[in-house]
Amino acid sequence: MVDRKYKFIFNDHDMQESITYALVTKFDLEPNILRAEIDDNGGMMIVRLRGSEENIDNGIDYLKQIGTDAIQLNKHIVRDHDVCIDCGSCVSVCPARAFSIDPDSWEIHLNFEKCIACGSCLTACPTHAVTLTI
């Protein structure tokens, strides 16, 4: 089993079928919706897919065939180490606990796998050292 994160972008036509239902029933995948912005015209979802590599690849191919853009997210959050002052504001607001403080050096560390792209760290950072690239 592997986990991959994707950004799905779809229009109102794509909303006629539940894409998460299709990923479950047709491809035996476990989707976890991390973030969604959907209205009558379409929208976007950040989704973590869990399953075999083959099933994930087949599911993504299917989504692309029906017109849904599927962009794999790798390191979608960027921390500028030159601007960061290791204050810990991001640690305190992160609901996924993607940020942590090294107990010896007091430096902030980021675990990209845990990040759910919620944006809480963006508003909490006093130096604007964190950006989302989704």
Average pLDDT, the chain: 89
Question: How much of the chain, in percent, has pLDDT values that exceed 90?
Answer: 53
Distance in angstroms (rounded) separating the CA atoms of residues 44 and 38: 6
Q: Residue 24's pLDDT is what?
A: 96
Average pLDDT of span 20-49: 91
Average pLDDT of span 103-123: 88
Q: Which residue has the higher pLDDT, 76 or 56?
A: 56
Q: Supply the Cα-derived Rg of the chain in whole angstroms.
A: 17
pLDDT class of 106 with cuts at 50, 70, 90: very high
pLDDT class of 15 with cuts at 50, 70, 90: low
Query: What is the signed CA dihedral for 79, 7, 2, 51, rounded to 10 degrees?
Result: 160
Give the predicted TM-score (pTM) of the model.
0.72
pLDDT class of 13 with cuts at 50, 70, 90: low
Given a cut of 90, whether residue 14 has pLDDT beyond it is: no
